[in-house]
Amino acid sequence: MRTAFYISDGTAITAEVFGHALLSLFPTEFKHVTIPFVETEQQAKEVLEQIKVSFDESGERPLVFFTMVNLDIKNIISRSIGINYNFLDQFVAPLEKVIGVPSKPMPHRTHSIHEKTYDIRIEAVNYALANDDGSNLKDYHEADIILVGVSRSGKTPTSLYLALQYGIKAANYPFTEDDMGDVLKMPNVLRGFKKKLFGLTIDANRLHQIRSERRANSRYASMQQCRMELREVENLYRKEKIPFLNSTKFSIEEISAKILATTGLERRKY
Say if CB 42 and CB 88 are below 8 A apart: no
Say if CB 198 and CB 147 are below 8 A apart: yes
Share of residues in the chain with pLDDT > 90 (%)? 71
Q: How far apart are the first and last CA of the chain?
A: 37
Look at residue 78 and give its three-state secondary structure: coil
Model confidence at 105: pLDDT above 70: no
Model confidence at 1: pLDDT above 60: yes
Confidence of residue 260 (pLDDT cuts 50, 70, 90): very high
Q: Give me the mean pLDDT over the 12-40 stretch.
A: 93
Element (H, E) at 245: strand 244-246
What would you report as the CA-atom Rg of the chain, rounded to the nearest whole angstrom? Answer: 24
Ranges of each domain in the chain: 3-99, 118-263
In angstroms, rounded to a whole number, what is the distance separating the alpha carbons of residues 120 and 164?
9
pTM of the model: 0.74
Q: Which CATH number fits domain 118-263: 1.20.58, 3.40.50, 3.90.79, 3.40.630?
A: 3.40.50
Lowest-pLDDT range, 92-101, 106-115, 143-152? 106-115
Lowest-pLDDT range, 12-26, 52-66, 147-161? 12-26
For 192-225, the pLDDT digits (tens) are 999 999 999 999 999 999 999 989 999 999 999 9
In angstroms, rounded to a whole number, what is the distance separating the alpha carbons of residues 14 and 160?
21
Look at residue 134 and give its three-state secondary structure: helix
Model confidence at 262: pLDDT above 60: yes
